[in-house]
Structure 1
Amino acid sequence: MIQLWLVVLFAVFLAAGCQKKDETKKETESAIKEETGIKNDQNRIYYEIFVRSFADSNGDGIGDINGITSKLDYLEDLGIEGIWLTPIMPSPSYHGYDVTDYRGINPAYGTLEDFKKLVKEAHSRNIKVLMDLVINHTSIDHPWFQKALKGDPAFKDYYVWAGKDSNKNQVGDWGQKVWHEKNQQLYEGSFSDSMPDLNYDSKSVRSEMENIGEFWLENTGIDGFRLDAAKYLYSFYQSPKNNEKTIDFWKEFNEKMQKIKPNVFLVGEVWDTPGVVGPYLKGLNSAFNFDLSEVMINTAKLGDDRGIVSRVSNVRDFYQKNNPNFMDSIFLTNHDTNRLMSRVNNDVNKAKMAAALLLTLPGNPFIYYGEEIGLEGNKPDEYLREPFIWNQTNDPAQTDWMEEKYNNNKPEIALSEQMKDNDSLFNHYKNLIHARKNSLPLKSGEIAEAPYKEAGLVAFKRVADKEEVTVLHNVSSKEIAIKNVEKKNNIYFATFNISNVKNTITLPSYSTLILK
């Protein structure tokens, strides 16, 4: 009896000790996150996937959800920590930005069960999933709009119609026609006559969209949304005050989403200057930094610093005033902009330098699918979205839904070929991605000036708590000698052969050196 009592006592003591260790581990992880500025595990490297062009699973030539699932090992190996999928809901268009059913999956891409499996498999690899949510407008074919055209008062209120005081000749931000006619009725469509704008003065619309967000979070386990056209919900063609109303809606939306998933990540497409973007961060976790994308590309293209450090510092200070926990979402190109390789005139060295800037600056880097192998593409939009090239020969996952204009008959850029070449663009991306992931300052640190000034040199420090690295990029075509380098530094990462730190370091053309 005494022996049994001792066994029970020992078991209780052991369980208490294990519980204490678990609690201590959680407290330590929490403290690390707080000290280093890592909020909600959101400092990640994302990969944007234009679903139709990425990977096919059933041989119909159209990229699909199961195709993406089959390539998760590739993304994990590359070092990707999150994916953003362009619209997967039913739509009459190839791009999907005109939705006809907000709770469905485009049959060409698979089923809801396929999507749930993708999310589960991604999470098992520590890859988060964001889906595109397009709620500024619907498709003209959406049942809501069709009912509105027929005079149903409930759904008439879902859309924006011209009134007596409306300027029928009003044009939008890029000179586009705003008002369109159907069945002798004028409706607002800021992006196209096939995309009627929703009316966010309608409580029903606001409620619908919040319920739709909750539906996807609850039923699929996704981690957040990329919010399309996030600044256009209330048309400021009608009133400048509508900008504030849009921000107020995002505050409300974010609050509702956090009740479902406290760590939900909402990144908005607010295609504007930082002065306009900043206030949106009162309602969103993050917004894409369109200004910085231009600065990075032009720095790489022209081979000289375009004032990156001061720009980034000033913008981050401004954003923090709007949201102390903001996360900047940085990128080079996306599905709406000309591809990087085309922007730098197919110069691989310049493409490498743009990637090096992206992956060493603060924020969450978003990599557009195919940038890592150097896909080319110029507008019109469909040519920015050409198929990913997996293999030099036929590959089961290869998509062929469109006739390529820029990447046809270029077997040398196939992923399978670049994986074999240590100096390839793919391996450059992969090495930098893993260098970033394994360095606390690169992953989550702030930016500070570095004491090195040379033509063609971009130099800065990344600082997290008491740990820092110095990042040196030679974006020019000439060697750069950097003098008075602190000898206490060690080499953390380099794109060229260097064994130790001397008083003077020579950076080859188009090279990166990171010291710690």
Structure 2
Amino acid sequence: MEEMVPYLADLGITGIWLMPITDSNSEHGYNVRNYYEVNSQYGTMEDFQSMLDTCHKYGIKVIMDLVVNHCASDNVWFEEALKGPVLEDGSENPYWDYFTFVPSDAKFVEKTADEIHQAEILYEQEHGSLEGFEKEYPLYDNATQGPDKTVWRESEELPGYKYIGIFSDSMPDLNYSSEALQEDMKNVAKFWLDMGIDGFRLDAARHIFGDFYSNIYNDYIAEENQSFWEDFRSDIVAEYPNAYLVGEVWEKNTDNMVPFISEGALDSTFDFNLANKIYEAVSNESTAYDPSAVDPENQLSQDNDLNIVSDLVSFYNKFGEASNYNFIDCPFSTNHDQNRIMSLFKYQFDPEATDINVANPLKDESEQLILREDADKAMDHAKVASSLLLTMPGRPFIYYGEEVGLDGVKPDSSIRECMPWYEEPFNADGSAKEGLANYGETLYSVGGEASVEAQIDQPDSLYAHYEEVIHARKRIPALMNGDIDEYNLDSQQIISYIRMTEDQRVLVVVNLSGETLTQELVQDPNYGSFHRVLFQSSQDSISQLNDSTLTLAPYSMVVLE
């Protein structure tokens, strides 16, 4: 990777998020065996330090995945915990409380965790204490989800007990009610900050407290999560004031996200709602929306428009107030848990799925992916999506390979294939060229047009578009650091918004459609008029501003001042 840092710098990248690099025996790395070692498949600690130094030399900050919710079943913490609550010498096992163990013959019931909690409260109110109350445990994640959805796991090494593992039996959940564990995880963070890392992406941040779907966002769990993250941040920034913390809080309801950024907790969360709305608008070439066609729990909007900008303004107001206006949004298109954005624009997916980002693709009788009817527009759609992403407030994240249109659909191994550097990635003998490595069969990172080598010198390529818009963002202060506000044009084929700082205001206008569109711009009562084109693609010879008449090329974006 270190050799490719200049490529990232040329593209305009200012930060890197490294997915798990710590010692692990899985392809995904989220079951951490040793928090203090680099996965040997990636290199040594010396290699890591050299890479980090090179990134900093090029002005690129580096954050890494910190897997805080769980560890590996062969992590020394869990191996020691499996020795039981009392050690052979009669002393208490210091690692026992690092995890949640329950006797196998405990009272497991078909109730939700919250129902049990409410019963405990009622009993305590009636009796003055919990003395005499028979402790109950939820058998499943929810009472209606069935036995395959239990989070309770068993280990042959510790008969007579069950433990909580939300994601897998190989990833036991850590118990943050243990102060000793909290201190250990802080020490892990400080170790990597001492190495020079610039911050962390905090995996599964919402699961620290609340191990069941029924209680994960209840008030008493939210308070515990908020308290923990406030304490974690306070302890970290006391020694490393510039450390950056972004949490994975995969949630549609923004109210449920507030505790994670309130009162000095996390700096940022990833904006899953915005990602979904951008995809929907670009895919349909319109912001028109029919909420009646969608299950209420998965609706992106309550009315016949996606309301991307107005909802975003409301979201920022809410999060700004909660965080004393220190919140930094993290927009993105797709990530390592989701079908890649280019594939979403090219292929058909299970129409019954509630979330296309994690849906299974449709295949024909020969197991080939079935193309969308408008698959020929996928490249145009990818450019439009990136135009929106890269002109949004906050810190946009680009999943590696998006800039060259790398494909990838579920399972996870296929959306995490290696970066397609070469047009022909394999040698004559079939071996991969230096620097390429995949787990299992390589399906998508096979070179051709979806590669850096094929696109980097092509002025009309997706890569060139990313590079051009990224550099425009860095050059225009309002795009880089400004707030956002509404500017409504009378067309659902257009998304428009104002970005502004104290010293600059610009109007971003994006044509979602394959048609040339014309709009009359009116003076905004708060921001005035816009008279000059500040940016348009070098490949766009159609878009122009003539007095107050704006002409937009198909699938284009202009920035006006």
- Return the TM-score normalized by structure 1: 0.83
Partner of 2:560: 515
Partner of 1:260: 239
- Post-superposition Cα deviations, 1:416-472, rounded to whole Å, max 9, x if no partner, equal 111121111111111010000111100111111124221300011101113111000
Distance 1:387 1:173 in 2: 40
3-state DSSP class of the match of 1:167?
strand
Match of 2:197 among 222, 237, 248: 222
8 Å Cα contact 2:406/2:451 also seen in 1: no
Check 1:491–1:146 CA distance in 2 against 1; reply closer, same or farther (3 A cut). Answer: same
8 Å Cα contact 1:492/1:515 also seen in 2: yes
> RMSD over aligned Cα, in angstroms?
1.9
Distance 1:436 1:462 in 2: 11
In the TM superposition, 1:55-454 aligns within 5 A as: 68-151=1-84, 152=87, 153-162=93-102, 164=106, 165-171=135-141, 176-183=149-156, 184=159, 185-218=161-194, 220-237=195-212, 240=218, 241-272=220-251, 273-282=253-262, 283-305=265-287, 306-323=306-323, 324-345=325-346, 346=375, 347-394=378-425, 395-408=433-446, 410-454=447-491
* More moved, 151-160 vs 161-170: 161-170
Distance 1:387 1:189 in 2: 29
8 Å Cα contact 1:90/1:105 also seen in 2: yes
Check 1:147–1:87 CA distance in 2 against 1; reply closer, same or farther (3 A cut). Answer: same
3-state DSSP class of the match of 2:6?
helix
- Post-superposition Cα deviations, 1:140-159, rounded to whole Å, max 9, x if no partner, equal 11111111112142111110
Distance 2:509 2:381 in 1: 15
- Post-superposition Cα deviations, 1:74-116, rounded to whole Å, max 9, x if no partner, equal 0000000000000111111111000011111111111111111
Distance 2:143 2:471 in 1: 40
8 Å Cα contact 2:313/2:485 also seen in 1: yes
Quote the offset at 1:485 in angstroms.
5.9
Distance 2:138 2:226 in 1: 26
3-state DSSP class of the match of 1:368?
coil
8 Å Cα contact 1:131/1:225 also seen in 2: yes
Check 1:339–1:80 CA distance in 2 against 1; reply closer, same or farther (3 A cut). Answer: same
Match of 1:482 among 492, 497, 519: 519
The structure 1 segments of at least 4 consecutive aligned residues displaced by more than 4 Å after TM superposition are 172-175, 485-488
Quote the offset at 1:166 in angstroms.
4.0
Quote the offset at 1:412 in angstroms.
1.6
Distance 1:310 1:501 in 2: 25
8 Å Cα contact 1:360/1:436 also seen in 2: yes
Check 1:80–1:173 CA distance in 2 against 1; reply closer, same or farther (3 A cut). Answer: farther
8 Å Cα contact 1:236/1:242 also seen in 2: no
Distance 2:182 2:55 in 1: 31
- Post-superposition Cα deviations, 1:308-365, rounded to whole Å, max 9, x if no partner, equal 1111101100101110211001101000011001111251111111111100111110
Distance 1:451 1:458 in 2: 8
Distance 1:179 1:398 in 2: 38
8 Å Cα contact 2:32/2:67 also seen in 1: yes
Distance 2:94 2:530 in 1: 70
8 Å Cα contact 1:236/1:243 also seen in 2: no
- Post-superposition Cα deviations, 1:56-90, rounded to whole Å, max 9, x if no partner, equal xxxxxxxxxxxx11110000000000000001111
**Higher fraction of helix:** 1
Letter of the structure 2 residue corresponding to residue 314 of structure 1 = S
8 Å Cα contact 1:130/1:225 also seen in 2: yes
Letter of the structure 1 residue corresponding to residue 435 of structure 2 = A
Gap runs ≥5 in structure 1: 1-67
8 Å Cα contact 1:122/1:129 also seen in 2: yes
Partner of 2:125: none
Quote the offset at 1:168 in angstroms.
5.0
Partner of 1:38: none
Distance 1:242 1:354 in 2: 36
Letter of the structure 2 residue corresponding to residue 428 of structure 1 = H
Distance 2:269 2:492 in 1: 32
Distance 1:320 1:488 in 2: 28
3-state DSSP class of the match of 2:489?
coil
Partner of 2:129: none
3-state DSSP class of the match of 2:73?
coil
Quote the offset at 1:484 in angstroms.
3.7
Letter of the structure 1 residue corresponding to residue 461 of structure 2 = S
Letter of the structure 2 residue corresponding to residue 106 of structure 1 = N
Distance 2:259 2:13 in 1: 29
Check 1:173–1:360 CA distance in 2 against 1; reply closer, same or farther (3 A cut). Answer: farther
Partner of 2:357: none
Check 1:216–1:172 CA distance in 2 against 1; reply closer, same or farther (3 A cut). Answer: farther
Check 1:172–1:382 CA distance in 2 against 1; reply closer, same or farther (3 A cut). Answer: farther
- Post-superposition Cα deviations, 1:162-213, rounded to whole Å, max 9, x if no partner, equal 3643435222699532111113320000111110011111111011011111
8 Å Cα contact 1:388/1:399 also seen in 2: no
Distance 1:402 1:372 in 2: 24
Quote the offset at 1:117 in angstroms.
1.3
Distance 2:229 2:509 in 1: 39
8 Å Cα contact 2:543/2:551 also seen in 1: no
Distance 1:425 1:459 in 2: 22
- Post-superposition Cα deviations, 1:361-420, rounded to whole Å, max 9, x if no partner, equal 111100000000111111111111112111113443233443122343x51211111112
8 Å Cα contact 2:246/2:266 also seen in 1: yes
3-state DSSP class of the match of 2:36?
coil
Q: What is the identity percentage for the equivalent residue pairs of Structure 1 and Structure 2?
A: 38
Distance 2:336 2:144 in 1: 18
Say which structure, 1 or 2, has more relative contact order (CA 8 Å, 6+ apart): 1
Letter of the structure 1 residue corresponding to residue 329 of structure 2 = D
Check 1:485–1:391 CA distance in 2 against 1; reply closer, same or farther (3 A cut). Answer: farther
